[in-house]
Amino acid sequence: MPLVGLGTWNLRGEECVQVVSKAIQLGYRLIDTAQMYENEKEVGQGILKSGIDRNQLFITSKIYRISNSYEKAKYAIEETLNNLQLDHIDLLLIHEPYPQGPQMYQALEEAFLKGKVMSIGISNYDENRYQEFIKNCKIIPAVNQVENHVYYQKWELHELLMKHGTAMQAWSPLAQGLLNLSDQTVLKKIASKYNKTPAQISLRFLTQRGISVVPKSKHELRLKENIDIFDFHLTEEEINQIRQIDQNDTLFSWTKNF
Q: Classify residue 23 by its DSSP letter.
A: H
Q: Is 95 annotated as a binding residue?
A: yes
Q: Does 37 participate in catalysis according to the annotation?
A: yes
Grouping H, G, I as helix, E, B as strand and the rest as coil, residue 185 is helix
Q: What is the pLDDT of residue 130?
A: 98
The pLDDT-based confidence of 254 (bands split at 50, 70, 90) is: confident
Compute the radius of gyration of the chain from its Cα atoms.
Answer: 18
Where along the chain do its domains lie? Answer: 5-257
Q: What is the pLDDT of residue 165?
A: 98
The pLDDT-based confidence of 44 (bands split at 50, 70, 90) is: very high
Q: For residues 78 and 95, is the Cβ–Cβ distance under 8 A?
A: no
Q: What is the pLDDT of residue 227?
A: 98
Helix (H) or strand (E) holding 5: strand 5-7
Q: What is the pLDDT of residue 251?
A: 93
Strand ordering across the sheet containing 58-63? 5-7, 30-32, 58-63, 91-94, 120-123, 143-147, 167-171, 212-213
Catalytic annotation, pick one of 28, 37, 105, 152: 37
The pLDDT-based confidence of 257 (bands split at 50, 70, 90) is: confident
pLDDT in tens, 61-95: 999 999 999 999 999 999 999 999 999 999 999 99
Q: What is the pLDDT of residue 255?
A: 87
pLDDT in tens, 148-165: 999 999 999 999 999 999
Q: For residues 182 and 208, is the Cβ–Cβ distance under 8 A?
A: no
| d(C-alpha 175, C-alpha 231), whole Å | 23
Q: What share of the chain is helix, strand, coil (3-state, %, to 5)?
A: 50, 15, 35
Mean pLDDT, residues 185-199:
97
Q: Pseudo-torsion of CA 183, 184, 187, 191, nearest 10°? A: 20
57 Cβ neighbours under 8 A, 6+ residues apart = 24, 29, 30, 31, 47, 90
Q: For residues 213 and 28, is the Cβ–Cβ distance under 8 A?
A: no
pTM: 0.97
Q: What is the pLDDT of residue 253?
A: 85
**Is residue 258 over pLDDT 90?**
no
For 92, phi then psi, to 5°, come to -125, 130
Please, where are the H alpha helices in the chain? 13-26, 40-50, 70-84, 101-113, 127-133, 155-164, 185-194, 198-207, 220-227, 236-243
**Is residue 256 over pLDDT 90?**
no
Q: What is the pLDDT of residue 178?
A: 82
Q: Is 134 exposed, middle or buried (0-12, 13-18, 19+ CB in 10 A)?
A: middle
The pLDDT-based confidence of 57 (bands split at 50, 70, 90) is: very high
pLDDT in tens, 161-184: 999 999 999 999 999 888 889 999
CATH of 5-257, one of 3.20.20.70, 3.20.20.100, 3.40.50.300, 3.40.50.720: 3.20.20.100
Q: What is the pLDDT of residue 90?
A: 98
| d(C-alpha 52, C-alpha 167), whole Å | 26
For 75, phi then psi, to 5°, come to -65, -40
Q: Classify residue 213 by its DSSP letter.
A: E
pLDDT in tens, 111-121: 999 999 999 99
Query: How confident is the prediction for the chain on average, in pLDDT?
Result: 97
